[in-house]
Each structure stands twice: as C-alpha cells, then as structure tokens.
Chain A
C-alpha cells in the first residue's frame, strides 16, 4: 500500500516506513539514543531527499524521545537539573548548526561534511565504548579486581561555576554540560540526529554521570534540541514532512516502549558493547562509501531559491 508524501514529493510503501520506524524505535528505547544516526542514512537510501530526511527525522526524534523519557521519568532516572543546562547549550548549538547546514548546502559540501562528521564521531565513540565495555565485562568475571571509584577526577573538575547535581551524584562546573550541549547541538542540526550517540558517552566519560540516569537525561534534553531543529528547518527550508514523520513515529514510539522495557533486563556494559558494535558498523560503512569509486561521479540538485 502506497502513500504520497507531500513535502518529500514521492510515493512510499506505508508498511516499509512503519517497519523502519519500529525497528529503529526499539534500538532507541534500548540504548537511549534517538536512532537518527541510523534512520537519516536509511531514509536517504530509500530515496527521500537528504534535507527532507534531516528535517523530518528531527521531528520524529521529538516523539520517540518524549515516549522514551516518560518511561525513564517514572523510574526516577532523569536528572532535570543536568538536562536543563545541557539543553541551554543545545539551543545555542543547534541554532548555529541550522545556519551552518544552509551554508554547506549552498557550497555543495553538505554530504561530505555529514559523512566526515559521522566517521570522526562514530569512530572515536564506538572504539572508546567498545574497549571500555569489553574491559568491564572481563573484569566482572574476575572478582579480585572489582572495586572501582565513582568516577575519575581530572582537570575538568577544576573549572569555576560549580553546581551540585544530586541525582547524578556530581559536583562539577556548569560550563562543562553547557559546552557538551552546544557541540552536540551543532552536530544534531548538521547530521540530522538527536545526538544521543555522542551525548550518552560524553555524559558517562566526560561528566562521569552514573549510567542509570544518563539515558533518561539524554532523552530529556534531546526532546528540546530536536524540537528546535524541527522548528528552524520548517521555518527556513520547509523540509519537515509531517506525514512521513507521523508514519515513522507511529512505528518508533511503539518500538521505543519495547526497547526501554527490554533495556532494564540487560547489563549496562552489555548494552554499551552492543551500541559500540552498531556505531562502529555504521562508521565502517560510511568510510567504505567514501573511498570506493561512486557508480556515478555526477550528482544533481535543484537550485534552491534565495
């Protein structure tokens, strides 16, 4: 059964879109990532124009994050204080990112920048998480070396404007979460992702937050950052396809519920190892795409008005 998408201006199979939403929604609930880093490339792959994929995916992530955060909120796993500072940074970052996106699109390098950003961030984060989680899994089998500190202290803990975050059991500078929020916001607008795959490891490794509150807090701030991206993309380039977003989110919110239920049954380090493998897989796929000769050296884009 086909449906015509008014903004993407193409006809798609309803069940294919619902299945894509469901599958990625499940992963989103399981790992606490928006799933945008998988969905955006997938949408482009099935023929949705790249700007529409980015704008619509931001809209869809709003829905799956709301659905996901409620489940974590009920379990008390959201640090609202930390989330608020992250999202103030996120607002600044994502607004700048939308402007940068338009410029890169104008000079014809947006695809390259998107791909390089994915390679750099997915590569670094995937490797770090994979290495760390494997080490934890090995250590848990060896009870002799089990004891660990809450988190490591480094120079980042010396910054001014210190704030106490009770839920995260942290006493750190507010500059740190603000900066992380801003950087992730820029990437969120350019890459068409919620940024959870960067935010989650940044909160664990840079801020030293406990894994239990990381996913809920990350989802909480992603809601607002992706809502900001959705609004700005709709306003400036009209690339948000509500119909496509509704189809995707119908699948995704259902999938996300199953995902977050399932995540309770899994160990943190196992989750992280799985996420790391997925992140590295996407990263390798993009590298291969960039270095192999494309089937057609030419590409076509309509000239944007204005």
Chain B
C-alpha cells in the first residue's frame, strides 16, 4: 500500500519536471522505492518498487544483484547403496541474490550475445569455476552452474523467470521485486537497461544497501566481535531460564 502511494507521488513528480519528459534528451530515468533495506526483528521480506521513464525505449530489463560469495556445490552418487557426496566444485563470484524483471521474454528483447556481454540472466552472469575433484566427464561446468541456479532458485534467492515490468502508455515503467526474508546483508545494485529494436540504449545503476538494525543487529555483532562473551551470555541465559521455570513450577 505504501509502495503504491509512493509510486503515484513519484510519477506525478516525474511528469511535472519538463526536461525529464522531453523526447530529445535521450536519457531514461529510474528510481527505487528505497535504497536502504533494513532487517529488523520483524523482517519477513520486502517489496521493492522500481519505476521510471522509458524515453523512447520499447523494452526494459532490470537486474538486481546481491554481493558476491564463493559457493561449494557437491554432488551425491550411490556408494554401497547409500547416497554420498563424492564430487565437488568451488564456484567464485556467485551473487548471493539475483532477480530479473523485463517487459517481455529476454530472447524477444535482444540477442543472446548482448545478454551475455552484460551478464543478463542466470545463464549469463560470469562466475569462476575453480576446481573439480573426481569429475569423470571432461567439462562439468554447465552441469554445476545449472545446479547452482536451481538450488538458489529453490531458496527464493534467484528469480530467473523474469518478473513482468509494466509499461504505461509506452512512457513509464514499473516493476515490483520481492526481497525474501533470507537475503544476505551487503551492497546490492539494481541495473536498469533500456532497449530499442534490440539495441541497448542506456543503463542506469542504482545502489541498494541491505543491513541489519535493532536488537538482531546487536546480537549478530556481539556474536562475531566478542564470541567468548557471547557464548557465556548464551549459557547464562539458558541456566537462568531453566532455573526460573523450575522455580515457577515448584509452586504450582
């Protein structure tokens, strides 16, 4: 609801500024409903609204990428009738979060080579596959990359079936992207690409910061900066709660 009000308000603001709407200026404009996602104790995911003016472009693609991490993908095979992890690869430069939104299916917007060049789509972002142990086939990169995307997809961290971007009278666009509750903290970027007749017109990068706030953030910080103290506090809380419960129940 809040997002909708914001959207209407911002659209009105965009339309009232004459130079943004002028067709001769070949710049699109884009804005994000918030550039700061705060994870507090009640955090259960968040809707992010992206909107702007197309300025003559007929297609828009939005990519939201989380900070990069290194993942280990393991594969199970059958050993003596039980399933055991036997093969593994290490994949570097994996975005912790990846969401894509577009006005129509990606292959109808532009060519595969352009998508590849800009790393648009889960098949196209560059990763670094490090080492393969016990890999029997010659090249297993695709197999493991597909597994990575599938597993992240299941966790709700990759949205590779593009979210529909709405075009309003060919001038304005808007898209709603859901951040799930299990997003990592760090620096995210929203990249907005505009295309006309298959050619890339313009790119806008918008930073989004995801951070923890409140008691949860304090707990996390204490756990990592003063681990020993944290461990002792955890034990004391447990002992006290157990004692209190026993004392309460004794009187009942």
Interface residues of A (CB under 8 A from B): 2-7, 9-11, 59-60, 62-68, 70-71, 74, 108-109, 111-112, 223, 227, 230-236, 238, 240, 242-243, 245-246, 249-250, 253-254, 256-257, 290-291, 293-294, 296-303
Contacts and interface: CB of A to CB of B under 8 A. Distances in A.
26 contacts: A4-B39, A4-B42, A6-B212, A10-B181, A10-B182, A11-B45, A11-B182, A59-B234, A63-B242, A108-B74, A108-B85, A109-B84, A227-B238, A230-B235, A231-B234, A232-B231, A238-B223, A240-B230, A291-B81, A296-B147, A296-B150, A297-B75, A300-B71, A300-B72, A300-B148, A303-B90
A206 B152 CA distance: 48
Contacts of B74: 108, 298-299, 301
Given A4-B39, A6-B219, A230-B238, A66 B71 contact: no
B238 A299 contact: no
A4 B219 CA distance: 12
B238 A235 contact: no
A59 B238 contact: yes
Contact of A6 (B220, B242, B247): B220
Nearest to B232: A231
> What range describes how many residues of B lie at the interface?
35 or more
Given A6-B212, A298-B73, A298-B144, A62 B184 contact: no
B227 interface: yes
Contact of B245 (A67, A233, A236, A242): A67
B45 to A, nearest CB: 7
Interface string B149-170: 0111010000000000000000
Interface in B120-159: 144, 147-148, 150-152, 154
Given A7-B220, A10-B181, A298-B74, A67 B242 contact: yes
Interface centre among B44, B77, B235 (most CB of A within 10 A): B235
A299 B85 contact: yes
Q: Give the secondary structure class of A's interface.
A: helix
B225 to A, nearest CB: 10
Contacts of A242: 219, 223, 230, 233-234, 237
Contacts of B152: 300
A299 B151 contact: yes
Nearest to A8: B182
A107 to B, nearest CB: 9
B197 interface: no
B216 interface: yes
Contact of A246 (B84, B151, B241, B250): B241
